[in-house]
Amino acid sequence: MGSGENRETGAGAAAGASAGAGERSRAGARAGAGAGAGTDAGVRAGATGLPGAGVRAGVAGTGRPPRPDVTVVGGGLIGLVTAWRAAGAGLSVAVVDPAPGGGAASVAAGMLAPVTELHHGEEALLDLNLASARRYPDFVAELAEHAEGDVGYRACGTLAVALDADDRALLRESHLLQRQCGLAAEWLTGRECRRLEPMLAPGVRGGLRVDGDHQVDPRRLTAALLAACERAGVALVRREASALLVNGDRAVGVRLADGDQLHAAHTVLAGGSRSGRLAGLPPEVSVPVRPVKGQILRLRDLPGLPPLLGRTVRAVVRGEQVYLVPRANGELVLGATSEERGWDTSVTAGGVYQLLRDAHELLPGITELPLVETRAGLRPTTPDNGPLLGPTALPGLQLATGHHRNGVLLAPITGETLAATLTGAEPPDQARPFHAGRFTGAGAGAATGAGGPAGADRPANAGAGTGASPLARAGRSSEVSA
């Protein structure tokens, strides 16, 4: 998809491959690139596609290897964490994107909320979310060693509240589901909620205190990953990728918009909601990712006054969700709509009005804050709301896309999973149900094959599904990006 606000976001995790394994894979990858990309005969290519890359192939002084081990198509948060982890595993990597570091991360709120994002029928996704959330402290600490600046990680917890009896019943239903899954969430009275957050409206009827759901600043996180990639030797090719190159039965790289070709042993599609629109994808490769629009607002606390909130607050207001994420720098993020509007990313008066109206009922003081930004982005969404990770039916082609509302949360485990599959190592067990071939019946036996154990974070009652949470049945749900 295009650069800027319409692509995906995420973060990174501990790489799972040893240096020795990385070096062996690197040698094998280069051998594969030589075998698969040494001729243009039989190469299939198409017309227009994903955001791509820049720097003419093979030009001296560009810093880009003429034939990297891995080409990542898409330089948003997910693409960058994939590239950083692959480079850390010993592979040479190029990221193809006209504006790396953009994407939906510039729109996302950055909630790390596996508990309050739990939906009926998504227990397998819960395992993945919990595993990634558990990696975040170490991931952020490691990233700080490779890039300057704070990424805004805050272990502040989350408070989910309801304003009337019907919304409280929905929240009670969510609490029951969380308890059935062995998750830590404490029911509070309205008075107890206001004791935690005194600026909440008097009408708050009850809530859930979830101390394990945190936040990060996606914009800072993406900037840090971009810097870490550059320091790790990842080449940034600031042009568009127009088509996948296929030689025989193997992906061998991408064609750039100006006609240049970038060959690689492995190609990773990490282009968010536009990942499936890259020309040249063969019929046996399914990338069922669609865009789901989300509008989001940014406000700022008044100078000289304490912030309105000290933690993330989520609410059900007349059956619709709203969330407020306070940043340490005084920013307050308010979101988000959930709209099936195709590729439209316009900000609408109706969307802004609904968000502010519902937030005012929850937090009356919000109307005094300056409104500093309105944005809209696209969540890359699959039929089961889970990501597509790892090898496809086409050798040489892997996916890192489709994270829907959880792109920022799942970045650590996504980076770890792709580093593993690119080097022939075993991915985390929690990633196995989300292999890239699950919608075509292909790829189940690949490194990210389905059927992994339930995971160590919760009881083994997981099951895949597409059910909606009682907190997300109407109107709006979840943060933009993922």
Question: Could you report the per-residue pLDDT of 249-259, keeping only the tens digit for each?
Answer: 999 999 999 99
**Residue 129 φ then ψ, to 5°:** -60, -45
* Greater model confidence, 25 or 190: 190
What is residue 458's predicted lDDT score, i.e. its pLDDT?
40
What is the rounded distance in angstroms from the CA atom of residue 173 to the CA atom of residue 84?
40
For all residues of the chain together, what is the average pLDDT?
A: 83
* Structural domains of the chain ordered from first start: 66-155+213-289+383-438 (3.50.50.60)
Would you say residue 424 has pLDDT above 70?
yes
Enter the pTM of the model.
0.81
**Residue 321 φ then ψ, to 5°:** -90, 150
Identify the weakest region by mean pLDDT among 29-33, 66-70, 202-206, 350-354.
29-33
What is the sign of the dihedral through the CA atoms of 259, 231, 390 and 222? negative
What is the rounded distance in angstroms from the CA atom of residue 179 to the CA atom of residue 230?
44
What is residue 27's predicted lDDT score, i.e. its pLDDT?
39
Which single residue is written with the structure tokens 């789901």?
292
Identify the weakest region by mean pLDDT among 117-131, 331-345, 436-450.
436-450
What is the rounded distance in angstroms from the CA atom of residue 137 to the CA atom of residue 284?
39
Paired with 312 in beta bridges are 158
pLDDT in tens, 370-388: 999 999 999 999 999 999 9
Q: What is residue 434's DSSP assignment?
A: G
H runs (alpha helix) in 316-390: 349-362
* Greater model confidence, 236 or 3: 236
* Greater model confidence, 344 or 317: 344
| 127-144: average pLDDT | 98
Give kind and range of the element (H or E) at residue 28: helix 19-37
| 200-220: average pLDDT | 97
What is the rounded distance in angstroms from the CA atom of residue 456 to the CA atom of residue 444?
22
What is the rounded distance in angstroms from the CA atom of residue 122 to the CA atom of residue 279?
32
pLDDT band at residue 321 under the 50/70/90 scheme: confident
Paired with 334 in beta bridges are 297, 324
Identity of the residue numbered 122: E
What is the rounded distance in angstroms from the CA atom of residue 222 to the CA atom of residue 148?
12
What is the rounded distance in angstroms from the CA atom of residue 218 to the CA atom of residue 326?
13
**Residue 73 φ then ψ, to 5°:** -95, 110
Contact 433, 126 (CB under 8 A): no
Residue 284, both tokens = 């046996």
pLDDT band at residue 441 under the 50/70/90 scheme: low
Identity of the residue numbered 128: L
Q: Which strands make up the sheet holding 158-162, listed edge to edge?
A: 186-189, 206-210, 158-162, 312-317, 320-326, 331-335, 290-300, 371-381
426 exposure class (CB count in 10 Å sphere: 0-12, 13-18, 19+): middle
CA distances from 414 to 81, 147, 410, 419 (A): 8, 20, 6, 8
CA distances from 193 to 185, 188, 320 (A): 13, 6, 19
What is the rounded distance in angstroms from the CA atom of residue 366 to the CA atom of residue 368?
5
What is the rounded distance in angstroms from the CA atom of residue 335 to the CA atom of residue 477?
9
Which value, to the nearest 10 degrees, does the dihedral of the CA atoms of residues 310, 314, 315, 321 take?
Answer: 150
Would you say residue 406 has pLDDT above 80?
yes
| 44-63: average pLDDT | 34
Identify the weakest region by mean pLDDT among 70-79, 303-312, 450-459.
450-459
DSSP assignment of 303-332 equals TTS--S-SSEEEEEETTEEEEEEE-TTSEE
Pairing of strands 397-401, 266-269: parallel
Would you say residue 444 has pLDDT above 90?
no
Closest CA to 79 of 437, 400, 397, 396: 400
CA distances from 263 to 25, 308, 379 (A): 17, 52, 29
What is the sign of the dihedral through the CA atoms of 168, 170, 176 and 180? negative
Closest CA to 244 of 385, 47, 464, 28: 47
Q: Cis before residue 336, ω within 30 degrees of 0? A: yes
Pairing of strands 261-263, 250-256: antiparallel
Closest CA to 56 of 231, 259, 280: 259
What is residue 274's predicted lDDT score, i.e. its pLDDT?
94
Give kind and range of the element (H or E) at residue 381: strand 371-381
CA distances from 265 to 51, 53, 57, 102, 251 (A): 20, 17, 16, 26, 8
